[in-house]
């Protein structure tokens, strides 16, 4: 029996060593790099590999004027256990943190180098001396499960190097592959297509520095001066987006009146106004998993009708993701719709999400989670579960309103109903007063449940200890409940211990 156990253990160890891999990709040009950090990675017990560190633009808005900052990012693929060494070349390191904080990644500092280990793929922000702009975003990817052949005629293949493509319209039944070490300058358009994949480990951008080294033998067509969104999916079905990084001019991904879109392991940075991360209009059956969005406008925005798109937006699922809004909302549902033929935005689920920041000066556009019904929209049946909000700089935790924004709407919304927040937490001291408010008796907020809402470690419940009888429970959570609101509950799961 002991021999059998020993043999099984030996096989497990051999299997682990066999499958442990580390894949890094050389950068195509020095012009896309950022010298602020140096990064080395190794499998435990192996030699160090240097990982290129790229530059991305992000937005700092300390008052009302936007300042564009250069942040850093790096990426590699691995399985097993990886050891990381991040050296800050910009400044002396006195302290560091690795976010999301919920990941609990321990580190040590030696000189100007931060050491830590990873035993699973993840997306991280490594921050030195509290600097959230000149930080390093580290994307530790899983190994690719599918890598197409250059010779496959159904594959549009971009290998390592810089490629200028203008606007690439992808036919049905095609795969676009952006290999690790590739930087593709241009836009990808999927219009009235089916069964399409856009995958890889490289970078898709419109913001490539203009140098002679960026020229290719086949530069393609000039970028069309339309909306300039980076990846557009219009009137299409069965589209997969996986693995690569986007540095856009406007939206990172635009989804209009489409069905069956799957997005996973996707990363995005933006610095301009109207440079949303992922926007969904009049679409259904959308699955989003394991994304990292750092945007200068809404990270995820879900709408009804706008422009040439019509219909309800239904069955959207977002999970295992990191959202960072330097401006505007991490999550926004509502706003746009068809006032003459009202839309319903519903049957959506958001699970296991870390919100790293919000900073929004305009009160109308605050809310890490904002459900804002306008244009006769009805927002219904939305569930948020395991949402961790870190110490945002300026904004609100939630903003639930039936509104009439005269800049965007032709009518107020119809209502917001059947909303469930479970295991939502906030740790910090900068959040303003959250708002829940209807419009009138026929355009109300109805049936909103907060289960295990936790503010700085304190559970906010209707029967919480220490709450004066004449207080609303919402007062304890810094939430203003206005008129035309009914059925608000703050509950505690039976298996949840009340802690402070």
Domain extents for the chain? 21-141, 250-491
Report H helices in 176-260. Answer: none
Task: Note the residue count of the chain.
Answer: 500
**CA triplet 436, 492, 331: central angle to 5 degrees?**
40
Q: Return the pLDDT at 9.
A: 45
Q: Which single residue is written with the structure tokens 């836009």?
A: 187
User: Residues 6 or more apart from 446 whose CB is under 8 A from it?
Assistant: 415, 416, 417, 418, 485, 486, 487
Q: Return the pLDDT at 491.
A: 98
Tokens, residue 425: 């937490």
For 250-491, give the CATH class.
mainly beta
Q: Shortest CA distance to 451 belongs to which of 470, 425, 427?
A: 425
Q: How many helices (H) and strands (E) does the chain have?
A: 2, 40
Q: Return the pLDDT at 45.
A: 87
At residue 382, the 3 state secondary structure works out as: strand
Topology (CATH level 3) of domain 21-141: Dex49a from penicillium minioluteum complex, domain 1 (2.60.350)
Q: Shortest CA distance to 74 belongs to which of 104, 49, 100?
A: 49
What is the C-alpha to C-alpha distance for residues 330 and 292, in angstroms, rounded to an integer?
11
Host H or E run for residue 10: helix 2-19
What is the C-alpha to C-alpha distance for residues 117 and 6, in angstroms, rounded to an integer?
28
Q: Return the pLDDT at 64.
A: 87
Q: Return the pLDDT at 370.
A: 98
What is the C-alpha to C-alpha distance for residues 360 and 354, in angstroms, rounded to an integer?
18
Note down pLDDT in tens along the chain; length 500 residues. 555 544 444 444 434 444 799 999 999 998 899 999 999 999 988 999 999 999 999 999 988 899 999 999 999 999 999 999 999 999 999 999 999 999 999 999 999 999 999 999 999 999 999 999 999 999 999 999 999 999 999 999 999 999 999 999 999 999 999 999 999 999 999 999 999 999 999 999 988 765 444 444 344 444 444 578 999 999 999 999 999 999 999 999 999 999 999 999 999 999 998 999 999 999 999 999 999 999 999 999 999 999 999 999 999 999 999 999 999 999 999 999 999 999 999 999 999 999 999 999 999 999 999 999 999 999 999 999 999 999 999 999 999 999 999 999 999 999 999 999 999 999 999 999 999 999 999 999 999 999 999 999 999 999 999 999 999 999 999 999 999 999 999 999 977 544 43
What is the C-alpha to C-alpha distance for residues 442 and 66, in angstroms, rounded to an integer?
40
**CB of 358 within 8 A of CB of 399?**
no
User: Residues 6 or more apart from 361 whose CB is under 8 A from it?
Assistant: 61, 63, 64, 394
Tokens, residue 156: 């549009």
**CB of 84 within 8 A of CB of 117?**
yes
**CA triplet 429, 355, 60: central angle to 5 degrees?**
75
Q: Return the pLDDT at 224.
A: 44
* 62 exposure class (CB count in 10 Å sphere: 0-12, 13-18, 19+): exposed
Tokens, residue 76: 């590699």
What is the C-alpha to C-alpha distance for residues 333 and 325, in angstroms, rounded to an integer?
15
Q: Shortest CA distance to 235 belongs to which of 192, 195, 278, 197?
A: 192
Q: Which single residue is written with the structure tokens 């290998």?
A: 159
What is the 8-class DSSP label of residue 224?
P
């Amino acid at each position: 029996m002991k021999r059998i156990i020993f043999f099984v253990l030996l096989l497990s160890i051999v299997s682990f060593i066999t499958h442990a891999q580390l894949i890094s990709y050389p950068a195509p040009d020095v012009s896309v790099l950022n010298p602020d950090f140096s990064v080395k990675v190794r499998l435990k017990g192996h030699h160090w590999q240097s990982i290129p560190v790229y530059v991305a633009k992000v937005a700092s808005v300390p008052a009302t004027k936007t300042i564009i900052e250069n942040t850093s990012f790096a990426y590699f693929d691995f399985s097993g256990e990886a050891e990381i060494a991040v050296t800050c070349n910009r400044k002396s390191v006195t302290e560091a943190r690795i976010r999301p904080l919920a990941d609990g990644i321990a580190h040590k500092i030696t000189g100007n180098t931060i050491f830590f280990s990873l035993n699973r793929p993840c997306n991280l922000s490594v921050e030195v001396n509290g600097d959230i702009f000149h930080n390093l975003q580290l994307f530790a990817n899983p190994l690719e499960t599918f890598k197409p052949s250059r010779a496959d005629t159904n594959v549009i293949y971009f290998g390592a190097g810089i490629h200028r493509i203008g606007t690439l319209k992808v036919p049905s039944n095609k795969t676009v592959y952006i290999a690790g070490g590739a930087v593709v300058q241009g836009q990808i358009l999927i219009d009235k297509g089916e069964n399409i994949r856009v995958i890889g480990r490289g970078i898709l951008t419109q913001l490539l520095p203009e140098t002679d080294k960026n020229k290719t033998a086949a530069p393609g067509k000039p970028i069309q001066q339309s909306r300039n969104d980076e990846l557009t999916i219009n009137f299409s079905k069965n589209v997969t987006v996986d693995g690569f990084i986007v540095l856009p001019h406007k939206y990172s991904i635009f989804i209009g009146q489409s069905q069956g879109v799957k997005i996973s392991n996707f990363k995005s940075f933006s610095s301009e106004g109207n440079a949303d991360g992922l926007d969904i209009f009049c679409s259904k059956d959308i699955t989003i998993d394991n994304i990292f969005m750092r945007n200068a406008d809404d990270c995820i925005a879900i709408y009804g009708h706008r422009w040439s798109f019509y219909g309800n937006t239904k069955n959207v699922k977002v999970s295992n993701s990191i959202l960072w809004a330097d401006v505007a909302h991490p999550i926004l549902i509502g706003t746009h719709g068809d006032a003459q033929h009202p839309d319903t935005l519903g049957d959506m689920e958001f699970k296991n999400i870390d919100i790293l920041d919000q900073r929004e000066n305009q009160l109308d556009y605050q809310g890490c989670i904002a459900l804002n019904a306008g244009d006769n929209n009805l927002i219904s049946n939305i569930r948020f579960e395991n949402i961790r909000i870190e110490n945002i700089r300026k904004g609100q935790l939630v903003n639930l309103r039936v509104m009439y924004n005269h800049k965007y709407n032709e009518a107020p919304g119809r209502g917001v109903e059947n909303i469930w927040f479970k295991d939502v937490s906030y740790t910090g001291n900068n959040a303003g007063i959250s708002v829940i408010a209807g419009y009138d008796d026929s355009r109300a907020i109805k049936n909103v449940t907060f289960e295990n809402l936790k503010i700085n470690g304190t559970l906010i419940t209707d029967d919480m200890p220490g709450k004066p009888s004449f207080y609303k429970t919402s007062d304890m959570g810094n939430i203003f409940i206005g008129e035309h609101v009914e059925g608000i509950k703050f509950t505690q799961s039976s298996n949840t211990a009340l802690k402070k």
